[in-house]
Amino acid sequence: MDAREMMEAEIESFAAALRKASRAADNTVTNYRRDLLAFRSFMLERAAILGKRVDEIDVARITADHVRSYLAELMKNQAARATVQRRLSAIKAFFRYRETTIGAASPARTIRSPKNERRLPSILQEDEVRRLLEFSLSPDDSTPASIRDRAIFETLYSSGLRVGELVGLDWRDIDEELGMVMVRAGKGNKDRLVPLGEPALDALKKWKTAMPVAWEHNGPVITNLRGGRLTTRSVEMILQKRIEAAGLTAGVTPHGLRHSFATHMLGNGADLRSIQEMLGHASLATTQRYTHVSVNHLKEVYRRAFPRV
């Protein structure tokens, strides 16, 4: 193989193999490929700093020290621990692939991931959610954009969907009679059924009628005003504009509405297993992060009600 093609070509081969594996979601492949190319760039820069002219990296020469140096550089540049973990996960997966295909030992096998930061998710309180949903950026709530935006926020909060799952919905996925939405091939390529509240169903019905480009059974639910599927970035920008205009907590993202959904469900008596199923978490441990709010609520109730505090 040409020396100029070594690592980049191996990364592309790995990405192609991942795409063929039915269990690998498109986002996983894209993220792994990007993270591995970032590691390659680090290796090229490191060689340049050491005074070596290198056009490409020979993967067989990569050692555990190289990987550790890369992770240390990320942390020195204040990368979030979740980012460092994800980059290491991509590197480990890449070297596992080489072990399987050509029998090359992985230099990353014994490297441990940095522990998770115990960060509480940013959420809106129940009254803040009401303000967000009822606030209008336009004096005329009957414009297609206003009706669509209401449907976006009602659905995100009502179902706890990830924003990528929301923009991926087609009209065939929504059962108005049952009040359920089918999330097809969510994270981990698993389909799941999630209930939708009446306000979300009503908002979706209004949007269906108001769509500038007529809806189709197999067509996208959330579109721009030209009928194309809306992007996750567009939803983030729409939410940010609405949050700022409504004078609400800064920094809440569409994922924050998912956190809000789970926290409010738990606070109002829903059990963790049901929330886990609705959120599509593979592990109950992931869902348990929402118990912090419930615990705080219980402590407050205890403090107010118990006579010997």
φ/ψ of 229, rounded to 5, equals -65, 130
Which burial class, exposed, middle or buried, applies to 167 when counting CB atoms under 10 A from its CB (0-12, 13-18, 19+)?
A: buried
Contact 195, 155 (CB under 8 A): no
Report the C-alpha gap between 230 and 175 in whole angstroms.
Answer: 21
Q: Which of 187, 208, 229, 292 is catalytic?
A: 187
Q: Which of 40, 87, 206, 281 is catalytic?
A: 281
Q: Residue 176 corresponds to which tokens in the numbers above?
A: 């108005």
Q: Which of 32, 70, 157, 290 is catalytic?
A: 290
Contact 219, 207 (CB under 8 A): no
- Whether 281 is a known active-site residue: answer yes
- Whether 255 is a known active-site residue: answer yes
Contact 304, 216 (CB under 8 A): no
Q: Which of 96, 255, 289, 292 is catalytic?
A: 255
- Whether 187 is a known active-site residue: answer yes
What is the total residue count of the chain? Answer: 309
Contact 309, 303 (CB under 8 A): yes
Q: Which of 206, 258, 259, 264 is catalytic?
A: 258
Q: Which of 162, 192, 242, 259 is catalytic?
A: 162
Which residues are tagged catalytic? 162, 187, 255, 258, 281, 290
